[in-house]
């Protein structure tokens, strides 16, 4: 049988009475002990160092995390290069959280990989699914990403959204539950057209004057 950490990340039901659950408790207690030091940090460098202790590897120097930062576990958080995480974010990561390079996380964002069964007799058990935030995505202030969600490359999650389904690349989603609001590529093309029209109009006016 796989150990409890593999089973948590694999999405199967794990009961609190599982004979290996003490291993989870050990990590949780260690993270709880380290968290006050993290959130008392007085510089970005200190915050990076303290969070590195929690996640178990050295965060890249190009990544910035603002305290306070909250996690109940920490060992399954993977953060890439040039990532920015604003104040008061909460990462519940027993299912695994991955932030690829150049990801932006707004203040008070919740990334939640942990869920519970619907049946009352099993509700104390854990059902976990990973969250993946792909390169250059931007998660807006106060939004919540639920278990199993992938946010595609360059995508934007609007402030306050609750995301329960995958977000395609190059889209903007918002609302509760989150829905696609626009395509970023189309938005860029409209902007380019408008800018070209303004440029041409200005050039025409200049020609009339001179």
Any catalytic annotation for residue 116?
yes
> Which residue pairs, CB below 8 angstroms and at least 24 apart, start in 168-174?
169/134, 174/140
**Residue at token pair 């991955």:** 98
CB contact at 8 A, 116 and 150: no
Find the catalytic residue in 6, 82, 102, 116. Answer: 116
Count of other CB atoms within 10 angstroms of residue 119: 8
Show the DSSP H helices in the chain as ranges. 4-9, 21-39, 44-55, 184-209
Whole-number Å distance between alpha carbons of 135 and 157: 14
- Could you give phi then psi for residue 30, rounded to 5 degrees? -65, -45
Which of 185, 105, 89 lies closest to 151, judged by CA? Answer: 105
Whole-number Å distance between alpha carbons of 204 and 186: 27
Catalytic residues: 116
């Amino acid at each position: 049988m796989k150990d409890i950490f593999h089973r948590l990340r694999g999405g199967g039901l794990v009961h609190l009475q599982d004979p290996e659950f003490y291993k989870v408790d050990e990590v949780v207690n260690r993270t709880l002990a380290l968290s006050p030091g993290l959130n008392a940090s007085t510089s970005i460098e200190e915050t990076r160092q303290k969070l590195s202790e929690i996640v178990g590897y050295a965060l890249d120097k190009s990544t910035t995390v603002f305290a306070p930062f909250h996690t109940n576990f920490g060992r399954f958080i993977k953060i890439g290069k040039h990532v920015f995480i604003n104040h008061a974010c909460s990462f519940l990561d027993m299912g695994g959280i991955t932030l690829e390079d150049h990801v932006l996380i707004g203040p008070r964002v919740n990334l939640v990989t942990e869920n519970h069964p619907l049946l009352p007799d099993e509700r104390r058990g854990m059902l976990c699914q990973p969250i993946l935030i792909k390169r250059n995505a931007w998660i807006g202030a106060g939004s919540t990403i639920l278990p199993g969600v992938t946010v595609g490359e360059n995508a934007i999650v609007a402030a306050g959204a609750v995301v329960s389904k995958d977000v395609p690349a190059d889209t903007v989603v918002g609302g509760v539950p989150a829905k696609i609001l626009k395509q970023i590529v189309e938005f860029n093309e409209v902007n380019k057209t408008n800018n070209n029209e303004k440029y041409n109009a200005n050039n025409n006016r200049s020609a009339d004057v001179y």
